[in-house]
A and B are shown apart, each in its own frame.
Chain A
Amino acid sequence: MDLAALPIEQLLTLEVYSASRFVQKLSEAPSVVSVVTAADIKAFGWRTVADILGSMRGLYVSNDRNYAYLGARGFLRPGDYNTRFLLLVDGNRNNDGVYDQASLGTEFVLDVDLIERVEFVPGPGSSIYGANAFFGVINIITKKGRDLSGPQVSVEAGSHGMRKARASYGMRHDTGVEWLLSASTYREDGQDLYFPEFDTPATNNGIAHRKDHDRAQNLLMKASAGSWSVSVAHSERKKGIPTASFSQVFNDPRSHTVDTQSFVDAAHRSKIAPDAELSTRIFWGRYDYRGDYVYDYPPLTVNRDGSRASWWGAETKLVTTRIHGHKLVMGAEAQRDYRRRQFNFDIDPYLSRLDDQRSGSRFGLYLQDEFTLRRDLLLNAGARYDRNSSTGDSSVNPRVALIHKAGDATTFKAMVGTAFRAPNAYELYYDLRSEGGQKSNPALKAERIRTQELSAEHYFSTDARITASVFRNTVSDLITQTLDPSDGLLVFRNLDRARARGIEFELETAWNGGTRLRSSYSWQQAKDGTTGATLANSPRHLAKFNLSAPLPHIGWRAGAEAQYVGRRNTLRAETAGHWVGNLTLSAMRLAPGLELSASVYNLFDRRYAHPGAAEHAQDAIVQNGRTGRIKLIYAF
Chain B
Amino acid sequence: MFELLIDLLGRTLRRMLPAVFLLPLLAAAQPVPEYELKAAFVYNFALFTDWPTDTAYEGGTLNICINPGSVLRQSLAGLGEKTVKGRRVSVRHLAALDSLRACHVLFVDNSDRERWVQIKKGLGGATVLTISDDEEIGHDGSIIALAVDNNRIVFDVDTRAARSARLMLSSKLLRLARTVQ
**A6 and B40 form a contact (CB under 8 A):** yes
Least CB distance, A600 to chain B, in whole angstroms:
13
* Residues of A with C-beta under 8 A to B111: 24
A230: interface (CB < 8 Å): no
A606: interface (CB < 8 Å): no
* Residues of A with C-beta under 8 A to B36: 3
Q: For chain B residues 15-68, which have a beta carbon within 8 Å of chain A?
A: 17, 20, 23-27, 29-37, 39-41, 43-44, 47-48, 68
Given contacts A11-B37, A408-B68, contact A589 B27 (CB under 8 A): yes
* Residues of B with C-beta under 8 A to A630: 13-14, 17
Given contacts A4-B79, A19-B71, A408-B68, contact A155 B13 (CB under 8 A): yes
**A4 and B179 form a contact (CB under 8 A):** no
Bound together, the chains give a CA A630 to CA B9 distance in angstroms of 11
Least CB distance, B136 to chain A, in whole angstroms:
11
**Chain B minimum-CB-distance residue to A463:** B74
Contact with A along B132-166 (1 / 0, CB 8 A): 00000000000000001111111000000000000
**Chain A minimum-CB-distance residue to B3:** A187
B82: interface (CB < 8 Å): yes
**A554 and B24 form a contact (CB under 8 A):** yes
**B31 and A24 form a contact (CB under 8 A):** no
**B31 and A588 form a contact (CB under 8 A):** yes
Bound together, the chains give a CA A596 to CA B18 distance in angstroms of 12
Contact with B along A452-476 (1 / 0, CB 8 A): 0000000000110000000000000
Q: Which of A41-49, A157-165, A282-290, A612-620 contacts B (4 or more CB under 8 A)?
A: A157-165
**B44 and A8 form a contact (CB under 8 A):** yes
B180: interface (CB < 8 Å): no
* Residues of A with C-beta under 8 A to B117: 274-275, 321
For A, the interface residue count at a CB cutoff of 8 angstroms equals 51
**Chain B minimum-CB-distance residue to A591:** B27
Least CB distance, A93 to chain B, in whole angstroms:
23
**A163 and B44 form a contact (CB under 8 A):** no
Contact with B along A4-16 (1 / 0, CB 8 A): 1010110111111
Bound together, the chains give a CA A519 to CA B40 distance in angstroms of 32
**B2 interface neighbour in A3, A17, A185, Cβ under 8 Å:** A185
Contact with B along A588-622 (1 / 0, CB 8 A): 11110000101000000000000000000000000
**B40 and A149 form a contact (CB under 8 A):** no
Contact with A along B79-121 (1 / 0, CB 8 A): 1001000000000000100000000000000110010010000
Bound together, the chains give a CA A165 to CA B6 distance in angstroms of 7
**Chain B minimum-CB-distance residue to A459:** B69
B125: interface (CB < 8 Å): no
Bound together, the chains give a CA A514 to CA B31 distance in angstroms of 13
Bound together, the chains give a CA A135 to CA B20 distance in angstroms of 45
**B20 and A14 form a contact (CB under 8 A):** no
B10: interface (CB < 8 Å): yes
Would you call the interface of chain A mostly helix, strand, loop, or mixed? mixed
**A16 and B176 form a contact (CB under 8 A):** no
A437: interface (CB < 8 Å): no
A21: interface (CB < 8 Å): yes
**B69 interface neighbour in A18, A156, A462, Cβ under 8 Å:** A462
**A24 and B110 form a contact (CB under 8 A):** yes
**A22 and B71 form a contact (CB under 8 A):** yes
B78: interface (CB < 8 Å): yes
**Chain A minimum-CB-distance residue to B93:** A408
* Residues of A with C-beta under 8 A to B7: 163
A578: interface (CB < 8 Å): no
Bound together, the chains give a CA A274 to CA B140 distance in angstroms of 10
**B40 and A11 form a contact (CB under 8 A):** yes
* Residues of A with C-beta under 8 A to B68: 408, 462
Bound together, the chains give a CA A3 to CA B39 distance in angstroms of 8
**A149 and B78 form a contact (CB under 8 A):** no
**Chain B minimum-CB-distance residue to A3:** B40
* Residues of B with C-beta under 8 A to A3: 32, 36-37, 39-40
**A16 and B34 form a contact (CB under 8 A):** yes
A150: interface (CB < 8 Å): yes
* Residues of B with C-beta under 8 A to A14: 29, 31-32, 37, 152-153
Contact with B along A263-274 (1 / 0, CB 8 A): 000000000001
**Chain B minimum-CB-distance residue to A321:** B117
A-B contact pairs, 23 of them (CB 8 A): A4-B79, A8-B47, A8-B172, A11-B153, A15-B152, A16-B152, A16-B153, A17-B31, A19-B71, A157-B11, A163-B9, A165-B2, A187-B3, A187-B6, A275-B117, A462-B71, A463-B74, A512-B74, A554-B24, A555-B30, A555-B31, A589-B31, A596-B20
A-B contacts besides A16-B33, A17-B34, 10 pairs, CB < 8 Å: A8-B48, A11-B153, A14-B32, A15-B152, A16-B31, A156-B10, A157-B14, A165-B5, A462-B68, A462-B69
Residues of B bordering A, CB below 8 Å = 2-3, 5-7, 9-11, 13-14, 17, 20, 23-27, 29-37, 39-41, 43-44, 47-48, 68-71, 73-75, 78-79, 82, 95, 110-111, 114, 117, 148-154, 172-173, 176, 179
Residues of A bordering B, CB below 8 Å = 1, 3-4, 6, 8-9, 11-19, 21-22, 24, 28, 146, 149-150, 155-157, 163-165, 174, 185, 187, 274-275, 321, 408, 462-463, 512, 514, 554-556, 587-591, 596, 598, 630, 632
User: Would you list the 10 A-B pairs with minimal beta carbon distance, nearest first?
Assistant: A157-B10, A3-B40, A4-B40, A15-B31, A16-B34, A8-B44, A17-B31, A163-B6, A4-B43, A149-B150
